[in-house]
Amino acid sequence: MRLALDPVLLQILACPKDKGPLHYLKDEDTLYNPRLHLRYRVTEGIPVMLIEEAEAVGEAEVARIEAKIAEDGIGLTFEPPAGGEKEEPR
């Protein structure tokens, strides 16, 4: 049985390596970083966000994932700040 991630949690999930947004592939239980081509697994509804646990994705798999994202209209977990600038902590 797959457990979906909480929508509130999805709004704040970021890649621990580059701090950027991710794509949530619910039916594959993964979070995907399109900038670094890394995939983080989701186990029993809990994202495993450890850099050393991330899976590097090869070119063929990148193409498949990016086609799926486009076809299914899968958005990012959050919108990055304009100009690629990181927000200052409050």
Residues 59-78: pLDDT tens digits?
A: 999 999 999 999 999 999 99
Q: What is the pLDDT of residue 89?
A: 45
Query: With 90 as the cut, is the pLDDT of residue 84 above it?
Result: no
What's the CA gap between 66 and 26, in Å, rounded? 14
**Model pTM?**
0.85
Inside any domain, residue 45: yes
> The CATH number of the domain where 66 resides is what?
2.20.25.10
Structural domain boundaries, residue 37 = 7-76
Inside any domain, residue 90: no
Number of domains present in the structure of the chain: 1
What's the CA gap between 27 and 10, in Å, rounded? 15
Inside any domain, residue 69: yes
Inside any domain, residue 26: yes
Inside any domain, residue 85: no
